[in-house]
């Protein structure tokens, strides 16, 4: 049970951590990329403004002073183009790789774009310093390859960082989980031990009460008239309490390896005997108890405990099926598993209760007294026994139609035929 909780806790921690890491990495990446792009844009804009500032009209001729060395432009992965006011290209500097193929929008506004080659393109209109007339355009472009390379490196860094963080924190969370679970496990074990000890200690006084009540009832002549009924009630209550303490003791001990004696068991015989045993009880309720048990079903298990588990299921099926109903016990081999199905046409269980029926002391009809119904420990005991045999128990049910309990148990490794 605790292994399952630890595992779930570990997975939840890992999931939360993974989501937090993913979210933070995404946020860091977003901020980093937008800063990088903004810086590149500001740099290109500054160069473009500076370059455009050197242009002027000289005797009707559009002239500029800034000349860039081809090597410098290649290194900076930049290019510049000059256009007349109509958008006709006058000159270009820089490698064609860094020259944009975007058509120039001849509008007197500053534009910043990314073209289909992934180049950053800044278009500046140039005005005459004296009469403020549009005299041409400067288009500055730069490659964003360097930024892409930096982003790729950042991605690798973030991925490696996330993996290292997840590995380290899994180790840390495993350790923290075991630290946190230790006291819970200890107190749960202490509680279980207490239940086992208390149930054990209650056995003797209950036995004493029961024996005395029985002795008193054996000689009714020694009892005051009218007290016989009281002694009968004492005997009955003691019987119920003894059963309850035995159930609590069994539940408290199901996790202890030593409390189970595993041996090779013939499930076919075990189930057939149980059906024979419960046939008369079913008949008194006019319930048809049917059986379809395959032969040669072998498994490794504790016979007494398995009898207890299947008894609970068969007794419940008979108890919760009205007069004239049907109960069918079937069993077969399914690959490496043995499937035992106990199906009834009884009162069924509401779907909202199905999750709870294996809980300790849970009963659908709480208004029924302990004498009428059971203690609510039966299915908890059955589940604990089945799980101790590395098996599973599931239920499907429909109110007023019936219930079907499926028990799957691993088959014995070497199969012996009947
Ligand atoms: P109980 O001793 O009360 O039978 P169990 O643990 O065996 O305790 O069962 C718990 C509850 O589950 C029962 O009180 C009953 O409400 C419901 N239940 C169990 N088996 C059946 C069944 N075959 N049909 C309908 N209800 C069932």
Q: What is the pLDDT of residue 376?
A: 85
User: Residue 396: how many CB atoms within 10 A of its CB?
Assistant: 14
Distance CA 33, CA 317 (A): 67
Pocket of ligand 1 contains residue 325 by CB under 6 Å = no
Which residue's C-alpha comes closest to atom 25 of ligand 1? 348
| Distant-in-sequence, close-in-space partners of 141: CB < 8 Å, separation ≥ 6 | 78, 79, 80, 81, 94, 98, 99, 100, 115, 119, 120, 121, 122
Q: What is the pLDDT of residue 372?
A: 54
Q: What is the pLDDT of residue 251?
A: 84
DSSP H helices, 54-111, are 70-76
Angle, CA 38 vertex, CA 45 and CA 48 arms, to 5°: 5
Distance, CA 302 to ligand 1 centroid (Å)?
Answer: 23
Q: What is the pLDDT of residue 416?
A: 43
Distance, CA 145 to ligand 1 centroid (Å)?
Answer: 71
Distance CA 81, CA 307 (A): 93
Q: What is the pLDDT of residue 415?
A: 43
Q: What is the pLDDT of residue 417?
A: 41
Residues 143 and 132: beta-carbon distance below 8 Å: no
| Distant-in-sequence, close-in-space partners of 230: CB < 8 Å, separation ≥ 6 | none
Which residue's C-alpha comes closest to atom 8 of ligand 1? 376
**Ramachandran sector of residue 226 (left: φ over 0; alpha: ψ -120 to 50; beta: rest):** left
Give the model confidence (pLDDT) of 297-324 as tens digits: 999 999 999 999 999 999 999 999 999 9
Pocket of ligand 1 contains residue 349 by CB under 6 Å = yes
Strands 326-334 and 288-293: parallel
- pLDDT, one tens digit for every residue, the chain (418 residues): 678 888 888 899 889 988 999 999 999 999 999 999 999 999 999 988 888 888 877 777 777 776 678 888 888 899 999 898 888 888 888 888 899 888 888 788 888 989 888 899 999 999 887 778 888 899 999 999 889 999 999 999 999 999 999 999 889 988 998 898 899 989 988 988 888 888 889 989 999 999 999 988 898 888 888 888 889 999 999 998 998 898 888 888 876 666 788 999 999 999 999 999 999 999 999 999 999 999 999 999 999 999 999 999 999 999 999 999 999 999 999 999 999 999 999 999 999 999 999 998 888 776 555 545 577 889 999 999 999 999 999 999 999 999 999 999 999 865 444 3
Measuring CA to CA, how many Å separate 203 from each of 216, 252, 266, 377?
Answer: 20, 15, 32, 18
Q: What is the pLDDT of residue 61?
A: 75
Residues 349 and 358: beta-carbon distance below 8 Å: no
Distance CA 306, CA 373 (A): 22
Best residue among 250, 309, 357 to mutate for probing ligand 1, ranked by most atoms within 8 Å of CB:
357
Give the model confidence (pLDDT) of 395-411 as tens digits: 999 999 999 999 999 99
Pocket of ligand 1 contains residue 318 by CB under 6 Å = no
Residue in the structure block whose two tokens are 């500029």:
64
Q: Can you say whether the dihedral through the CA atoms of 102, 115, 51, 106 is positive or negative?
A: positive
Q: What is the pLDDT of residue 5?
A: 85
Distance, CA 409 to ligand 1 centroid (Å)?
Answer: 21
Which residue's C-alpha comes closest to atom 13 of ligand 1? 363
Which residue's C-alpha comes closest to atom 11 of ligand 1? 363
Domains for the chain: give ranges and CATH numbers.
58-143 (3.30.450.40), 259-410 (3.30.565.10)
Pocket of ligand 1 contains residue 375 by CB under 6 Å = yes
pTM: predicted TM-score of the whole model, two decimal places: 0.63
Q: Which two tokens stand for residue 335?
A: 């690959």
Distance CA 301, CA 322 (A): 33
| DSSP code, position 373 | S
Pocket of ligand 1 contains residue 85 by CB under 6 Å = no
Distance CA 231, CA 223 (A): 9
| Helix or strand run (H / E) with residue 193 | helix 145-218
| Helix or strand run (H / E) with residue 398 | strand 392-398
Distance, CA 316 to ligand 1 centroid (Å)?
Answer: 6
Residues 218 and 277: beta-carbon distance below 8 Å: no
């Amino acid at each position: 049970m605790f292994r399952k909780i630890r595992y779930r806790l570990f997975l939840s921690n890992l999931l939360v951590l993974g989501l937090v890491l993913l979210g933070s990495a995404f946020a860091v990446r977003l901020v980093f990329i937008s800063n990088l792009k903004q810086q590149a844009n500001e740099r290109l804009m500054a160069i473009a403004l500076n370059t455009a500032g050197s242009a002027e009209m000289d005797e009707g001729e559009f002239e500029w002073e800034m000349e860039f060395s081809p090597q410098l432009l290649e290194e900076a992965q930049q290019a510049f183009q000059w256009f007349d006011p109509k958008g006709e290209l006058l000159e270009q500097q820089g490698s064609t790789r860094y020259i944009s193929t975007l058509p120039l929008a001849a509008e007197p506004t500053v534009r910043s774009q990314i073209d289909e080659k992934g180049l950053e393109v800044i278009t500046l209109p140039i005005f005459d310093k004296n009469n403020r007339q549009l005299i041409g355009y400067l288009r500055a472009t730069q490659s964003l390859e360097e930024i892409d390379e930096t982003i790729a490196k950042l991605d690798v860094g973030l991925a490696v960082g996330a993996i290292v963080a997840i590995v380290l924190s899994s180790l840390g969370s495993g350790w923290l989980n075991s630290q946190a679970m230790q006291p819970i496990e200890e107190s749960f074990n202490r509680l279980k031990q207490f239940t086992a000890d208390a149930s054990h200690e209650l056995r003797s006084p209950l036995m004493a009460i029961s024996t005395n009540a029985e002795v008193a009832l054996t000689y009714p002549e020694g009892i005051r008239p009218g007290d016989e009924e009281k002694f009968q009630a004492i005997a009955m209550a003691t019987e119920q309490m003894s059963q309850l303490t035995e159930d609590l003791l069994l539940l408290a001990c199901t996790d202890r390896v030593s409390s189970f004696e595993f041996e090779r068991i013939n499930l076919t015989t075990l189930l057939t005997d149980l059906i024979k045993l419960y046939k008369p009880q079913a008949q008194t309720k006019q319930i048809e108890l049917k059986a379809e048990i395959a032969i040669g079903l072998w498994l490794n298990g504790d016979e007494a405990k398995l009898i207890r588990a299947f008894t609970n299921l068969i007794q419940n099926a008979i108890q919760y099926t009205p007069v004239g109903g049907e109960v069918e016990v079937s069993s077969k081999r399914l690959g490496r598993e043995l499937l035992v199905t106990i199906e009834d046409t009884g009162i069924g269980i509401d779907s909202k209760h199905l999750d709870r029926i294996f809980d300790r002391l849970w009963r659908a009809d709480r208004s029924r007294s302990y004498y009428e119904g059971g203690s609510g420990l039966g299915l908890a005991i059955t589940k604990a026994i089945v799980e101790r045999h590395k098996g599973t128990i599931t239920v499907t049910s429909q109110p007023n139609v019936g219930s079907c309990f499926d028990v799957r148990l691993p088959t014995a490794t070497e199969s012996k035929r009947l």
